[in-house]
Structure 1
Amino acid sequence: MELYMQASEQTFSKIIQSDNGNEHYHVPKYQRAYSWRQNNWTQLFDDIDENEAGHFIGSIICIDENSQRRPGHDLVFELVDGQQRMTTLSLLIAALYQKLSLCLDTAENDDDLDEDDLDEIKAKRRGIGLQLIRKVKADVSDQRGAIKSGKRVVLLRVQPSSQNHNLDDYLYILSTSGVLVETVKCPSHFGNRLMAKAYRYFLDRLPNSIDALMLLADKINQLQLVHISVNSHANAFRLFETLNNRGVPLTAVDIIKNKMLAEMERQHDVSIDDAYELWQEMLEDIEDVEDRFLRQFYNAFKHREKIGQPSFTAKATSSTLIAIYEKIIESNAKFIFDELVSKAKVYGTITQPDESTPLGLALVDLNRIGAVPSNTLLMYLMTLDEKHFASADTLLSVVHFLQKYLVRRNITDTPSTRDLDQLQIDVIEACESRIKAEQTIDPDFVISVYCKGRGEPASLESFESALSDNLFYYNKQMARYVLVKLDERAHSREYKPDFWARNNKGQYIWTVEHIFPQGENIPAHWVDMIAGGDNSLAKEIQDESVHCLGNLTLSGYNSRLSNQSFDRKQSKTEITAAGHKIDIGYKNGLYLNNLSFESNGKDVSLSTIEQWQKGDIAQRNQMMVNLLSSQYRFDHEVKNNEDCE
């Protein structure tokens, strides 16, 4: 898609004209709040004051959606980048307006100034006022962006967002400065907010001399900016990425939200405030994953006529997301808004499951695997009517299959990550075809489609090979996960350690412990035990085996074990605050430490073996791989069959 834009370098007085200016720059109502602070205000003021006229201060990006502007109506740009700078300049000239007014009151009694001098000052002040507001004619009171101020309807030349009372604060500032003749009530806590502080800062910084004020006004008008206008929200976002502007650019969700709220008001006469409240409620269900949800929503439901876009038949990506939603929103904003709100609730049950149900517990485990791509398919399936499923447990069976499939995929890296999104779409389309043929969806059908073509998983032998290698080295997350799953084999009402608990820093309490230490400097007692005192051999064994599952366990006291000798690691104890001695080493009763394997013809475990040798690592490793291979074998798979049936 071609990037359409118009760019030109213009002076501030050209962008915000004081003589019949009919172009205005409004920040979307619920865009980010004003956030500049004193260091920003100081920098801007000093740049203007200390540099020659014509100083360059940056760029602004605005969206021109005025193609359907009515005759006689002014042009209102949507300001999406540069809002902090333009809002701050408006606060500065509002302070300048008030300072000139105060100086004029004094000057009118000054015999040194003649009538022409006073007229020049008044003209300058009037011009500044026109750069802040423009009165709307009575016959065009439906002007886009117009607001009521007392009995008048006006357009703010630069209008901030409504976030954090920005617009209310700005209107009050214009009233106190004298730009708005109508009295505006002071908003609660006005003085504590940034706009009030910025305005006071500029009042304090501005000189008291009329000549200095007039000079500063001229310098402001001659400031140079690059004015960039684009014709769509998608192009605005692409431009952010191209320019890599300083500051925090809008996200795709910000852009889509602005478009959605504006179209809800324009198409359906829904107030932006009401729509915004619904939008915020939706975000609670998809907190921190908004972009991902929007992509996966489209991919899950693009087979539907009102959602799929002919020009975007492929999966939604970060680069196409905004353009896709622009088209859907322009077609029917309320429909897509309602769909997003309802599907976000479903998505929330996938990412934040209810742990009191079997399905919820299965989804919790799926999230721990790192199963984000499957959310697309799950969102689709969880919105289907129950009549489309062969049985009540179809969905749970599919989730159990996904657990196995994605553990194997994440460990073998087969299929490739780049194929996973399209795989979900393929399965959804197959399900849709089955529904249209008036057939029900059963787990075997989903599994068979999932395992064909691009979704064909690695063979059981390949899975075993990946498990046998230094798994922790290649995939720390999955190494920890399968260690947990091995221990969970023994979980019951009486034995159920919480391996997913975190401390107050958000870190796992239970971490992966290397039995034979992984550090570069191998302690002498370990060199003696594992390599008969041969440092080179010890290093060789470490390189070959240290990150194998057979050399790993889980511990809540990893730092206490560390490089200790093997017998100390086994028998390590600690006195609790209550004075009780507890085992914190390998004799702590953890099932993972009691898993039996063969060593020198005897059944031993990590808690009972007396020495830790290379052969013991290999034996324990093979035992663990065998258990996991059995656990993650597909129901329809036999040991020597490399493919899904």
Structure 2
Amino acid sequence: MINSASQYPVHALFSTESNIVYRIPRYQREYSWQKKEWEDLFQDLVEAEGAHFLGTIITLNQTKDAVDSTVLELIDGQQRATTLTLLLSSIYSIFKEHRDELDDDAQFAMISLGKRLVLPGGHLRVTPQTQGKNLDDYRRVLTIAGLKIESVQLPYFPMRRIHKCFQYFRTAIAELAESEGTTAVEAAERVLHTAQQAILVKIEVASHADAFVLFESLNNRGMPLTPVDLIKNHLLAASSGDGLDVDDAFKMWNEMLSNLGDTYSTHERFLRHYYNAFKAELPEVLNAQVATKSKLIGIYEKLLSGDLRARMEALVTASGIYGRVTCVTELDEPTELDDALRKLMRAQGAPSYILLMWLLSKRDELKVSDDHLVAVVRRLTSFFVRRNLTGFPQTYGLPTLFMGIVGNVVGLTGDAVVARIVRDLVAVSSSDAEFRDRLEGPIYDENSDVTRFILVSLAEHAMTKETWRDLWVQEKGHYTFTIEHVLPQGKNLPQAWVDMLGGPDAATTVQEAHVHRLGNLTITAYNSTLGNKSFVDKRDRTDARGLHIGYRNGLALNTGLATKDSWTAADIDARTRELAAQVVSRFPLS
């Protein structure tokens, strides 16, 4: 079943000495990774200590002529392989732009990198499939990067994921250089070294049937011990004596986890955030300026080596505060602060919990009231709506950002605390102009979660107590109210839409340019019911009781749609600009 299974660093898989190429079969889905996955990969590489493990790829040898090249069909791993080569292409482009600044080592690295991406004769090291214009866009990116390869630029190339991924990594490397006070070349060299040392396990199978069996076995593995499990085991092993027996340690540990809810990711994040928030007050841990996943076990081995009872009491107290910040703990009568915290959670503001846990634990000393805290949380929500849409500042810089704010607030009280936090957030956030520019682009394709938060916020802002509807309600783990594309996003537009937009070619052009823009999006509870219906059918749709479930459903967000008889590119553009202005106003920073 398995011909071979070995681990390789990326530089060996893409060796300049080999003629191996990786081809993604036509039946594979098109490239689908988005900013979240790009950010996670980049952050993991930047934070890596030693060789970072990238996972497993499964290949099938499809070589026809070994003299020409060894062809491995990439059955599993196309998203990672494509993203890796786009990262390497972005590094190559930076080297190319700064060629006059490169020393001999960097010159050699650039030449080698080019050979890793494109073999002699113009053969691609990784060949994406053709769906979604992936292959054409990939070839075009390599040309833009400075590699000698034939390509054409198809319409709307900048709006598709292959190009966006390439540009994301170029921007991320530039921001890394700025944050660390180095040159773009030095930052690119650092990322290149880590990327090329990263490890992949390559499994080569004998047939497609074997690949399927392997998928099944890999997806049914037992769960390994987590860092949180190992930290607990260390605590229990250390607790025989030192003022805390095993039973008490176990009880306090479970109390801490109970405050945090049932989700492992929250447990692990709390332990990181606790160290980052209170680092100035904790015992020094060598080589741990910031708590990362890879450093977590070592950090807590140090923290749990002293007065265990005092440390666990502090962790239990902090976990209670963290439970409220993360909305795990529900108060019988939620306050305005709890409502603000829930909005921050929905805006994906978890990195700021470092700051909020510290503020709530020090609120008496800082003389901050609930009103002060509400003001801070609202500004944090605005910050994250902007950050999660623009991607700035980078994810890997957020822990140090909020640790820095904690340090800057020490010694301040009351209004001065709020003012300093706002000042620090404004200093690192995107401008209103940058924010508006992203809002007027293909926002849904950029970040669908942020898009939903924005649309719901606009709808909620116009509600009164009499018209209130819970747009966050879920059924069977899914939101009842979901994002609806007015102009459908499916490739086979119904004839009514084709006619309205001026024919097949015009309809395709409008759809590619405008379908994911803010003006073409709304919230409904009946997305699947509306589907590909004509605009008028969507607008006037009712249920069996005669209640409006289309755009005349009473949400203020749909008021403009409810009065329209047609929906064109001009309509989408006008509504996009109108809604973008509302969003900038709804989420101010200063």
**TM tier relative to shorter chain:** 0.5 to 0.7
Answer yes or no: is 1:419 the counterpart of 2:379: no
Q: Which of 242, 255, 258 is the aligned partner of 2:230? A: 255
Q: Which of 342, 350, 373 is the aligned partner of 1:372? A: 350
Answer yes or no: is 1:525 the counterpart of 2:496: yes
Please give the alpha-carbon distance, in whole angstroms, between the structure 2 residues aligned to 1:439 and 1:633: 21
Residue aligning to 2:549: 584
Distance 1:618 1:450, change over 3 A: closer
SS in 2 for 1:249: coil
Please give the alpha-carbon distance, in whole angstroms, between the structure 2 residues aligned to 1:312 and 1:440: 35
Residue aligning to 1:272: 246
SS in 2 for 1:314: coil
Residue aligning to 1:115: none
Residue aligning to 1:351: 326
Specify the code of the residue in structure 2 equivalent to 1:614.
A
Report if the CA contact (8 A) 1:387-1:440 is conserved: no
SS in 2 for 1:267: coil
Report if the CA contact (8 A) 2:252-2:312 is conserved: no
**Superimposed CA distance per residue, residues 590-621 of structure 1 (whole angstroms, 9 cap, x where no aligned partner):** 11111xxxxxxxxxx20011111111111111
Give the C-alpha shift of residue 391 in structure 1: 5.3
Q: Which of 475, 492, 505 is the aligned partner of 2:464? A: 492
Residue aligning to 2:383: 405
Query: What does 1:210-289 align with in structure 2 at a 5 Å threshold?
Result: 247-268=222-243, 270-287=244-261, 288=263, 289=266
**Superimposed CA distance per residue, residues 115-138 of structure 1 (whole angstroms, 9 cap, x where no aligned partner):** xxxxxxxxxxxxxxxxxxxxxxxx
Residue aligning to 2:30: none
Give the C-alpha shift of residue 400 in structure 1: 1.1
Q: Which of 540, 545, 548 is the aligned partner of 1:571? A: 540
Q: Which of 302, 309, 325 is the aligned partner of 1:334? A: 309
Q: Which of 520, 545, 552 is the aligned partner of 1:551? A: 520
Report if the CA contact (8 A) 1:309-1:324 is conserved: no
Give the C-alpha shift of residue 562 in structure 1: 0.5
Q: Which of 488, 512, 515 is the aligned partner of 2:483? A: 512
Report if the CA contact (8 A) 2:366-2:414 is conserved: yes
Report if the CA contact (8 A) 2:482-2:523 is conserved: yes
Residue aligning to 1:182: none
Report if the CA contact (8 A) 2:369-2:414 is conserved: no
Report if the CA contact (8 A) 1:574-1:582 is conserved: yes
Give the C-alpha shift of residue 497 in structure 1: 1.3
State the identity %.
36
**Superimposed CA distance per residue, residues 78-109 of structure 1 (whole angstroms, 9 cap, x where no aligned partner):** xxxxxxxxxxxxxxxxxxxxxxxxxxxxxxxx
Specify the code of the residue in structure 2 equivalent to 1:537.
A
Specify the code of the residue in structure 1 equivalent to 2:348.
G
Distance 1:385 1:527, change over 3 A: closer
Report if the CA contact (8 A) 1:301-1:308 is conserved: no
SS in 1 for 2:543: strand
- Choose 1 or 2 for highest CA Rg: 1
Please give the alpha-carbon distance, in whole angstroms, between the structure 1 residues aligned to 2:572 and 2:285: 57
Answer yes or no: is 1:291 the counterpart of 2:268: yes
Answer yes or no: is 1:560 the counterpart of 2:544: no
Give the C-alpha shift of residue 451 in structure 1: 3.2
Give the C-alpha shift of residue 446 in structure 1: 1.5
Distance 1:411 1:440, change over 3 A: closer
Please give the alpha-carbon distance, in whole angstroms, between the structure 2 residues aligned to 1:480 and 1:502: 14
Query: What does 1:150-161 align with in structure 2 at a 5 Å threshold?
Result: none
Give the C-alpha shift of residue 507 in structure 1: 0.2
SS in 2 for 1:405: helix
**Superimposed CA distance per residue, residues 389-422 of structure 1 (whole angstroms, 9 cap, x where no aligned partner):** 3655221111111011111111111111111011
SS in 2 for 1:528: helix
Specify the code of the residue in structure 2 equivalent to 1:633.
P
Query: What does 1:31-110 align with in structure 2 at a 5 Å threshold?
Result: none
Give the C-alpha shift of residue 277 in structure 1: 1.9
Give the C-alpha shift of residue 387 in structure 1: 4.0
Answer yes or no: is 1:619 the counterpart of 2:574: yes
Residue aligning to 1:448: 423
Gaps of 5+ in 1: 1-240, 595-604, 637-645
SS in 2 for 1:296: helix
Residue aligning to 2:371: 393
SS in 1 for 2:561: coil
Specify the code of the residue in structure 2 equivalent to 1:320.
K
Specify the code of the residue in structure 1 equivalent to 2:547.
I
Please give the alpha-carbon distance, in whole angstroms, between the structure 1 residues aligned to 2:285 and 2:304: 15
Answer yes or no: is 1:324 the counterpart of 2:302: no
Please give the alpha-carbon distance, in whole angstroms, between the structure 1 residues aligned to 2:513 and 2:275: 46
Give the C-alpha shift of residue 300 in structure 1: 0.4
Give the C-alpha shift of residue 493 in structure 1: 0.8
Please give the alpha-carbon distance, in whole angstroms, between the structure 2 residues aligned to 1:265 and 1:587: 67
Report if the CA contact (8 A) 1:389-1:441 is conserved: no
Specify the code of the residue in structure 2 equivalent to 1:607.
A
Equivalenced residue count is 368
Specify the code of the residue in structure 2 equivalent to 1:368.
R
Residue aligning to 2:142: none
Please give the alpha-carbon distance, in whole angstroms, between the structure 1 residues aligned to 2:367 and 2:488: 51
Give the C-alpha shift of residue 313 in structure 1: 4.4
Report if the CA contact (8 A) 2:535-2:567 is conserved: yes
Please give the alpha-carbon distance, in whole angstroms, between the structure 1 residues aligned to 2:221 and 2:298: 24
SS in 2 for 1:574: coil
SS in 1 for 2:429: coil
Distance 1:246 1:392, change over 3 A: closer
Report if the CA contact (8 A) 2:443-2:516 is conserved: yes
Please give the alpha-carbon distance, in whole angstroms, between the structure 1 residues aligned to 2:233 and 2:368: 42
SS in 1 for 2:567: coil
Superposition TM-score, scaled by structure 1 size: 0.55
Report if the CA contact (8 A) 1:412-1:463 is conserved: yes
Q: Which of 619, 630, 640 is the aligned partner of 2:585? A: 630
More helix per residue: 1 or 2?
Answer: 2
Specify the code of the residue in structure 2 equivalent to 1:478.
V
Please give the alpha-carbon distance, in whole angstroms, between the structure 2 residues aligned to 1:565 and 1:494: 32
Please give the alpha-carbon distance, in whole angstroms, between the structure 2 residues aligned to 1:408 and 1:389: 29
